[in-house]
Structure 1
Amino acid sequence: MKKLLYWTLAIYVLYGIGMAWYLLGVADISIPPQWKGTSADPATFLTPKELELSGEYSRWKDLLFFLSIPYEWLIYFGLLAFGVAQALRTWVKRAAKWVPIQSALYAFWLSLITTALLLPIQFAVYHLSRTYGVSTQSLASWFRDRMTDFFIHTVLLVLTATVLYWLIRRFERRWWLYAWMLCVPFMIFFMFIQPVIIDPLYNEFYPLKDKKLETKILALASKANIPAEHVFEVNMSEKTNALNAYVTGIGSHARIVLWDTTLQRLNEDEVLFVMAHEMGHYVMKHIYWGLAGYIVLAFFGLWLVGKLIGWSLARWGRCIGIRRLSDIASFPLLLLLVSLLNFAASPLVNTVSRYEEHAADRYAIELTGNKEAAISSFQKLTKAGLSEVNPPLVVKIFRYTHPTMLERIVFLKEYAPPLQEE
């Protein structure tokens, strides 16, 4: 296993060199000739310096993303290959007699170890965004957010390990099915509480301060038959210069949220287009369709994890000292498989998300009818976040949950409103 790990490390280094060569050197991010000099060409709305910084920042950010995913896999694999996972199992058995407590302790220490090992690459991402002026967050604030991440991640991991390994011991063959059955209400519950409990741990939310603008937004919501009473503003200017707005939560806890940076950088017509886009998600029930999609993916994902982990332990269990799945030391292997499948599913998930975002763009332009404001809002989003207008294909496939800025602006330029019936 150690030899296999060393070979894996060598492959990771070669992979990193290859991705750096591709993203920093040969990847084509140029604008197609037919769109040069138009409003879709970043050279028309970014200064030469901003254009240069945008390319540099996006390429380094993409490289860190593609390095971080397999780096996480290496952590789990290394814990198994060097016996750390097994030693931790021995320690928790000595520390506690009750099996659920052993599972909880194991998950806590596993979370602490993985968080510490992932921290350097997370800091590199933070330092990059600070260097290029996208992030305005202080180091102390960034560290507080990482501590909050650790707390939430650890609580979820402890609950997962405790319940999951109880199910594995109780239902050796069908544990994955019962785990999925428990996942469904948990995902619904988590989406319900996220806007009111989780999100406020990171940022301050409050009703939109500009009441005149809120009146116009609510009038737009009424036009779309949305029973909205408030629009929420979140204080993001102390952390970033980027712009954003989003819809989150379900049921009575659903919220339409605007970053204060969006309000500071966009004019009124541009804000109304952005809000119409978010209203499109609400009207087309994308939150509910997304939840249904994740429930289906969770079913097939857990089934596949059950098959793969059984095969892995039969093939290599003796080498790593883990004979049965009920052994809590198999938890890093289970998390490794989940991470691998999440990455494998990301192109499909991103494709569906891009389709929904395009549908929301179409809805927004049909609701507002202001093409100029729509195009300028996307240009300002690009400028504030130093985003790539036309990213490499592999980046789009694995990273982009929205259509590229080139695709969005081109759609608006070519958009023709539907004919109105007499």
Structure 2
Amino acid sequence: MLIPYVAFNIFYLSSNQADLRRFVTVISVLCLFLSMSMHSTIDDGIYLDGRYVLMYFGLVFGGIPTGFILLLEFMVFRFSLGGSGLLSALISTSLTFPLSIYSSHLYHKIKNKAIITVTTGILCCFIPTCVLISIYPTAVKENFLIKIVFVAVQNGVGIWLLTSLFAKSISDREMSFRYAQTEKIEAVSQVAASLVHEVRNPLTAVKGFLKLIYEAPLPREKVMQYIDISMEEIARTEAILSDYLSLSKPLSQNVEKFDLSSHLQSVVEVLMPFANMNNVVLKMEIHVNGVWINANGDKVKQALLNLIKNALEACTPNEDGLVTTKLTVQNGEAILIVSDNGVGMTKEAVERLGSIYYSTKSNGTGLGLTFSYQVIHDLEGTVKVNSVLGVGTSFIITIPLNSDIND
């Protein structure tokens, strides 16, 4: 009965393209089959399984069509089993299924969903028990304790547990992607403030050279020199703004082959003004060009932005703040090291990094780092963190290369 919750967390929690209704329908049909195949029994033909739990779950998260698919599956399976308990099974289901439909409707209407879930669980425990007592009093009396315990735990607690856990997983998944975009906007906004200063410098230079050319006659060679310098400043400004705009656009879902080294360079260029504004030296070491990987370029750029920006912020209290990014290739993997000499972290803080809503910053949500961890893990990469409180932190990230191109 808990397979839907476990499967969702394994396969769909980090994906924002999952078709929830289709997933619920498929997994509910599978789990109902398994539950009825592995039933318990208190007498010949009287079977106990998780049908009520899975039907309610299917109705709540899959809708009415999913509920009727499960009902049809149950009817076919139960008739094939036969036995003396067939009548009680049909009566119990005919009473609990309409109740589950109504409860699933209320579940989406009212705010306090726990009351609906617990009430449904109690009724799905009470109704089948009463039906069995009415039709098979002897069988129930001989197995009264196991019947009460089994039904109470399986139906009552099962409905509450599966529904509550699955609802929380859906909520965490939606909030994670929503806040990942929010963190992206916040990070880009902070970088934009530093870009204003960076763009102002070349514009001031261009303005000065144009003023010199306008106010006094100069030799043609001098004019051409001023124009060349101005064009270089404008080109540098355009490159920075282009990289900034590529980071600020909404995240796409396309997976493509791209060069990690060039993406790292563009992210460092965008963050350089932010580092200068916070009096932190930002260095980059790339020991190999053309580091090709298969990934979503927008997501990788955002992950790099989060990691390097966090390192820069960790160094702001220091007068000699230094952040170094180093990219190498070894054993078919790209190895990226982001190191800083900032405030550092305790061992407990390092172990909790990447957990949803955990942040070492007083005003942080932790979702930026959670998003970065998800992106790296989706690429079958790894993240290792070495940190000493008061000394600094190093993030060691490994990502498999695209062997077709890098070979």
With structure 1 as the length reference, what TM-score do the two structures score? 0.20
Larger relative contact order (Cα-Cα within 8 Å, sequence gap ≥ 6): 1
With structure 2 as the length reference, what TM-score do the two structures score? 0.21
Higher share in helix? 1
Structure with the greater alpha carbon radius of gyration: 2
